[in-house]
Amino acid sequence: MTTTPWEFRKLGKTFVAEASGFDLTRKLTPAQVAQIESSIAEYGVLVFHDQPMDQPQQEAFIHQFGPERPPLFKELAGRRTLIDVGTVDDEGNPISKDSPQGAYTLANRLWHTDGTFLELPIRLTGLLARELPPEPPPTEYANMRAAWDALPAKRQAELEGLRVIHSVLRSREQVGFTVDKFAPETLKRFPPVSQPLVRVHPANGRKSLYLASHASHIDGWQVEKGRALILELIAFATQPQFTYSLDWRKDDFVLWDDRWTMHRATPYEGPHPRKMRQCAVHETAPV
């Protein structure tokens, strides 16, 4: 019997797994890339412990899975493809909640799927825990496939075929970062886009809800009616039976499939710095 050097241990009841046998600081083999792709389609969220990647190593890792997310906002100046997410900047200064980066962090507390406001939305997201407080705040994930499966057949039939208008303004306005605070070129680069309410995963044909805090309204519906449906479905999909709360350790790297999971950060206001670094790859064609 042939054995592989890696294994996956399910952490949640319906999704999330701990992956072992990988050194993400080094170039992966084609077989390892294929295994991670297969496992992310099965588990949705993969946790890799003890992966002290520096910036070039993290960029090299995510590049193996497709085209890297382009620079998003002028307001978040810095690295080309990586985004620092935390409570302090690189110099250790606290990040103001009124700043663009502060608004970005606050918006992360809303249930969302990364990059749904992009014409080519985010496919996979990775987050590295660089520095953590003594009691790190968890990140919560939602299984949108399980939520879809739990809907009555009649309700599923009503939802299939609907499309949702997504906008970066919709998520940011919910935390007080209004349109006047965006650079004009940012708004021009990221106009509202239409995404399906129900996605089919290309690896296994499984259906899932596709929602985010960026979801503004249902295409062709009156805005408030559409928003009511979106909020109803997000509330349904984030019930305890569909979610998992992930506890962090330093040098954890967590990779998730944005095609069928949502996530959110939990509040942290402590004095100890929290530094995370995010990377992502996007789809190669509109959904």
Cα–Cα distances in angstroms (integers) from residue 115 to residues 89, 187, 287, in the given order = 23, 14, 12
The answer to the question of residue 239 being in a domain is yes
Angle at alpha carbon of residue 114, lines to 119 and 178, rounded to 5°:
85
Q: Tell me, what's the pLDDT at 171?
A: 80
The answer to the question of residue 56 being in a domain is yes
168/186 Cα distance (integer angstroms): 10
Instruction: Name the pairing type of β-strands 275-282 and 83-86.
Output: antiparallel
CATH number at residue 58: 3.60.130.10
169/213 Cα distance (integer angstroms): 10
The answer to the question of residue 287 being in a domain is no
The answer to the question of residue 273 being in a domain is yes
The answer to the question of residue 1 being in a domain is no
The answer to the question of residue 141 being in a domain is yes
Q: Tell me, what's the pLDDT at 75?
A: 41
Q: Tell me, what's the pLDDT at 180?
A: 67
Structural domain span for residue 47? 7-282
State the pTM of this model. 0.91
State how many domains the chain has: 1
The tens-digit pLDDT sequence of the chain (287 residues) is: 456 789 999 999 999 999 999 999 999 999 999 999 999 999 999 999 999 999 999 999 999 999 987 666 544 444 456 777 777 766 677 766 666 666 667 778 899 999 999 999 999 999 999 999 999 999 999 999 999 999 999 999 999 999 999 998 788 777 777 666 666 777 777 899 999 999 999 999 999 999 999 999 999 999 999 999 999 999 999 999 999 999 999 999 999 999 999 999 998 887 888 889 999 999 999 99
The answer to the question of residue 2 being in a domain is no
The answer to the question of residue 253 being in a domain is yes
